[in-house]
Amino acid sequence: MSLDNAVAIVTGGAQGIGFAAAQRLGERGARLVVADRSGAEAAARALRESGFDAIAVDVDVSQPEQVAAMAQRAEAHFGRIDVLVNNAGIYSSLKPTPFEQLTMQDWRQVLDVNVIGVFLACQAVLPAFKRAGGGRIVNISSGVAFKGNPWMAHYVASKGAVISLTRALATELGAHQVLVNSVAPGFTLSDGVHANPTLVEGVKGPSLRGRVLARDMVPADLVGAIEFFAGAQAAFITGQTLVVDGGAYFH
CA distance 203 to 215: 13
155 is an active site residue:
yes
Q: Which amino acid is it at 29? A: G
Question: In the sheet that 7-11 helps form, which strands lie side by side, from edge to edge?
Answer: 54-58, 31-36, 7-11, 83-86, 135-140, 178-185, 241-244
Catalytic residue among 155, 170, 231, 243: 155
Q: How far from 45 is each of 24, 53, 87, CA to CA, in Å?
A: 16, 10, 20
The region that residue 180 occupies, defined by phi over 0 for left and psi between -120 and 50 for alpha, beta otherwise, is beta
Q: Which residues neighbour 52 within 8 Å (Cβ) at sequence distance 6 or greater? A: 23, 26, 27, 31, 32
CA distance 179 to 127: 14
**Which helix (H) or strand (E) segment is 185 a member of?**
strand 178-185
CA distance 70 to 32: 12
Active site residues: 155
